[in-house]
């Protein structure tokens, strides 16, 4: 490569410029809507393509795949999925206050089920889209630009006649910024737009006499009405939305809570999440009031039924749902849109101003275009009327001319050279003809039947109508009030045809207060069998079944129902389990696997010791590992809130072998796998922190490790079976910690 072709530049500058270019491309050309038509480029291109394909509201549906393919090939080369997703959303009346596409087939539902593949569904433009979004495209009302490969022209903005950005809202994530505009009621938005056009000094507070607040397709209740003014002035804020709950009486004196409207943020998978959260409230014992829950929603609307116990506090339970589930949620408002080619956060008045200014621009271009056509029509009509008055002379000119150009030259310039006339008077009159080029062409192309009396009369009437149109168009273009009235009349027409009642209630609701029922503290008995299934029972139940309980279970001890269970493992971990998380009830109930209510994994670690936290707090604990590392830890160190903590520090390849609480034990006996026994006083084991490794309790040969640990008391013999005989541990000579011990042979 030659030297003059190499461009040397700073790498960071190239990266910075490239990233900024990419970010602006995503912001302007992908994710953020234009304030004028409220559409993202993919939506605008899809609607325009449907318009160009002639898929109107009064024509048959066409396959979605055809629309998507045509849009991708001509205007939007970013993949078919983004186009189809945009098409699907524009059909969904639970997402859009005013659906722009009429879908036929499975276009998904409010519960989050996706639409069928594009090859199965069909679509066409909605009537409102044809009338309010795409009308007048043929009247040069908006600018057109080249498509991505400059083989087609596409509109830079659609001539939308209503503030779509407010009516349908918008959501999008760009680079470094997001937009989140809630949908509003069409009738209210139109009334606010009219009010602004009549008084441009109107305040946001006054505009809110017309626009009460968001109007979500899913209904619900906005609970912070007082915050709306600040949100609409700044364009940023949080709207609190609650679902609508009704109380129905059921059989047997029971009560059903029926959710008929949900927050807009709950659309889709969050409905299933809500059902799961409600079930979880019962499973985690946050409430004992739920008997059953069922989702009876259908095409008619949302209906989630929660059946409650007879004595349930309905109001308190309703507050629990608002507090612990997404039945009350927050909609984050960030009214970001593209204005004059750049992203801008806009308040309510700014958005309406931009939309109104755009309407005046569109109307100016429309009526300028119409006036130009009417003036052209007027010129031709006047030429034809004038020609009808001298039709005999014109016929004489046509018959005497050698060709079209000669006749046209005579009509326009009065040139009579070469034309044969019947009389001198005709020739003199011909020199006085002064038709324009357009008039002459119209005369030459005029058919003979136009000379019929009725046709001439119709031409005169048409001319009068044209003059009236010219007068009207000039008035609209010259007087802003006249143009404003035309726009207002159109807005009122759309309001009459497409208005609907408000779905979302706006109010100032009190903060939800949920009173948890105070749990009555009681002593229970923890039972866990050798398979790891755990449960709790009350003391009378345990006393009645004491013998069976002690024989069938590996761990049995008393604890408080408000307390915690401490589970130590050979990996040196401590897992905390709330007693309330364990099933409480009948003695013969199976219980729940301990893995399910803790972070303990029986596949990765083994259980060494289980006790309740209260008892652990009152004692000292001895840790012994297979490599003979020992320490004493104050049980209070394990009074932690985390579900899992490290109970001790271990050396490489070491495991905890034994953990016991110290009560009356005086001596410890360590037994190695190779048959060495070492007995020494417990007092020789130092007290350490839980994060320490500890000290060596016994010297082990290279391949040896501890196999068992025993504890003895003064004056009490401890006998164990060892190999082929019984061994009395008290007879082993008392030694010192960190000794090798005595080899005991079988």
Find the range with the poorest average confidence among 518-527, 625-634, 698-707: 518-527
Which class is domain 354-498? mainly alpha
CATH code matching the domain that covers 32-158, chosen among 1.10.8.50, 3.10.270.10, 3.90.199.10, 3.40.50.970:
3.90.199.10
Residue 646 reports pLDDT greater than 70: yes
Range 244-326: architecture per CATH? 2-Layer Sandwich (3.30)
Least confident of 68-82, 271-285, 368-382, 475-489: 271-285
Mean pLDDT of the chain: 89
Q: Average the pLDDT over each of 408-417, 596-605, 629-638 and give the range with the smallest value.
A: 408-417
Domain boundaries of the chain, sorted by first residue: 32-158, 244-326, 354-498, 523-743
Per DSSP, 103 falls in state E
pLDDT at 731: 86
pLDDT digits (tens, 9 = 90+) for 436-459: 888 888 888 887 676 666 677 888
| Confidence band, pLDDT 50/70/90 cuts, at residue 23 | low
Q: What is the pLDDT of residue 407?
A: 83
pLDDT (0 to 100) of residue 640: 87
Query: In percent, how much of the chain has pLDDT > 70?
Result: 96
Mean pLDDT for 489-497 is: 95
User: Which phi-psi region, left, alpha or beta, contains residue 51 (left: φ > 0; alpha: ψ -120 to 50)?
Assistant: alpha
Given a cut of 70, is residue 2 above it in pLDDT?
no
User: Which residue stretches of 136-185 are H helix?
Assistant: 164-167
Question: Which of the residues 11, 22, 75, 120 is marked catalytic?
Answer: 120
Q: What's the average model confidence in pLDDT over 131-156? A: 92
741 pLDDT higher than 70: yes
- pLDDT band at 649, cuts 50/70/90? very high
Positive or negative, the CA dihedral 383, 384, 388, 392 is positive
Please give the average per-residue pLDDT across 372-392, as a whole number: 85
367 is a catalytic site residue: no
Is the pLDDT confidence value at 746 over 70?
no
pLDDT digits (tens, 9 = 90+) for 404-430: 888 888 888 878 787 787 777 877 787
pLDDT of residue 347: 95
What are the contacts of 678-682 at 24+ separation with CB within 8 A? 678/735, 678/739, 678/740, 678/741, 678/742, 679/712, 679/729, 679/732, 679/733, 679/734, 679/735, 680/734, 680/735, 680/736, 680/737, 680/739, 681/734, 682/622, 682/632, 682/711
CATH code at 523-743: 2.120.10.90
Evaluate if residue 343 carries a pLDDT over 80: yes
């Amino acid at each position: 490569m030659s030297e003059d072709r190499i461009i040397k530049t700073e790498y960071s500058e190239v990266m910075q410029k490239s990233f900024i270019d990419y970010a602006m491309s995503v912001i302007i050309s992908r994710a953020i809507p234009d304030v004028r038509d409220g559409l993202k480029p993919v939506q605008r291109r899809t609607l325009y393509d449907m318009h160009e394909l002639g898929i109107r509201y009064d024509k048959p549906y066409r396959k979605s795949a055809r629309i998507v393919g045509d849009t991708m090939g001509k205007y939007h080369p970013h993949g078919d999925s983004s186009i189809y997703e945009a098409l699907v959303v524009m059909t969904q009346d639970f997402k859009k206050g005013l659906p722009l596409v009429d879908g036929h087939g499975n276009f998904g539902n409010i519960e989050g089920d996706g639409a069928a593949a594009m090859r199965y569904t069909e679509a066409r433009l909605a009537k409102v889209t044809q009338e309010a979004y795409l009308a007048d495209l043929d009247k040069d009302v908006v600018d057109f630009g080249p498509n991505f490969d400059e083989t087609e022209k596409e509109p830079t903005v659609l001539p939308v006649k209503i503030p779509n950005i407010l009516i349908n809202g918008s959501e999008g994530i760009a680079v470094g910024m997001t937009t989140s505009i809630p949908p509003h009621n069409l009738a209210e938005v139109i009334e606010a737009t009219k009010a602004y056009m009549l008084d441009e000094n109107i305040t946001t507070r006054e505009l809110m006499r017309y626009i009460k607040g968001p109007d979500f397709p899913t209904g619900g209740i906005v609970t912070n009405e007082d915050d709306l003014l600040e949100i609409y002035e700044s364009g940023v804020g949080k709207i609190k939305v609650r679902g609508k709950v009704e109380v129905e009486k059921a059989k047997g004196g029971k009560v059903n809570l029926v959710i008929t409207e949900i927050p807009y943020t709950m659309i889709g998978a969050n409905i299933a999440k809500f059902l799961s959260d409600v079930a979880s409230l019962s499973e985690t014992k946050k409430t004992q009031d739920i008997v059953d829950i069922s989702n009876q929603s259908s095409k008619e609307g949302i209906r989630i039924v929660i059946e409650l116990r007879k004595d349930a506090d309905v109001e308190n339970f309703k507050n629990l749902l608002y507090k612990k589930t997404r039945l009350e949620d927050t909609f984050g408002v960030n009214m970001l849109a593209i204005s004059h080619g750049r992203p801008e956060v806009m308040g309510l008045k700014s958005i309406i101003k931009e939309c109104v200014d755009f309407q005046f621009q569109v109307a100016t271009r429309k009526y300028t275009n119409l006036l130009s056509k009417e003036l052209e029509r007027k010129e031709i009509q006047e030429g034809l009327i004038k020609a009808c008055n001298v039709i005999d002379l014109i016929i004489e000119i046509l018959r005497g001319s050698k060709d079209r150009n000669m006749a046209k030259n005579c009509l326009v310039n009065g040139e009579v050279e070469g034309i044969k006339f019947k009389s001198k008077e005709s020739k003199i009159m011909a020199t006085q003809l002064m038709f324009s080029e357009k008039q002459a062409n119209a005369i030459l192309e005029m058919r003979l039947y136009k000379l019929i009396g009725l046709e001439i009369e119709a031409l005169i009437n048409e001319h009068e109508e044209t003059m009236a149109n010219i007068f009207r168009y000039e008035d609209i273009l010259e007087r802003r009030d006249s143009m404003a009235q035309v726009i207002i009349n159109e807005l009122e027409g759309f309001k009459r045809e497409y208005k609907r009642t408000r779905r979302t209630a706006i109010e100032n609701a009190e903060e939800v207060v949920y009173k948890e029922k105070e749990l009555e503290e009681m002593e229970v008995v923890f039972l866990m069998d050798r398979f790891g299934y755990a449960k709790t029972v009350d003391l009378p139940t345990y006393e009645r079944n004491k013998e069976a309980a002690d024989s069938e279970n590996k761990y049995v001890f008393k604890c408080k129902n408000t307390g915690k269970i401490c589970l130590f493992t050979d990996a040196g971990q401590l897992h905390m389990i709330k007693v309330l998380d364990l099933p409480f009830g009948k003695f013969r109930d199976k219980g729940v696997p301990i893995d399910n209510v803790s972070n303990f994994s029986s596949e990765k670690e083994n259980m060494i010791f289980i006790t309740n936290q209260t008892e652990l707090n009152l004692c000292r604990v001895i840790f012994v590992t297979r490599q003979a590392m020992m320490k004493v830890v104050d049980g209070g160190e394990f009074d932690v809130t985390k579900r899992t903590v490290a109970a001790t520090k271990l050396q490489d390849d070491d495991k905890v072998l034994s953990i016991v609480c110290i009560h009356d034990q005086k001596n410890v006996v360590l037994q190695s796998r190779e048959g060495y026994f070492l007995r020494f006083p417990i007092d020789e084991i130092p007290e350490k922190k839980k994060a320490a490794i500890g000290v060596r309790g016994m010297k082990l040969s290279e391949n040896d490790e501890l196999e068992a640990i025993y504890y003895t008391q003064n004056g009490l013999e401890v006998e164990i079976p060892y190999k082929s005989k019984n061994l009395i541990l008290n007879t082993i000579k008392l030694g010192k910690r960190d000794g090798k011990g005595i080899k005991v042979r079988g």
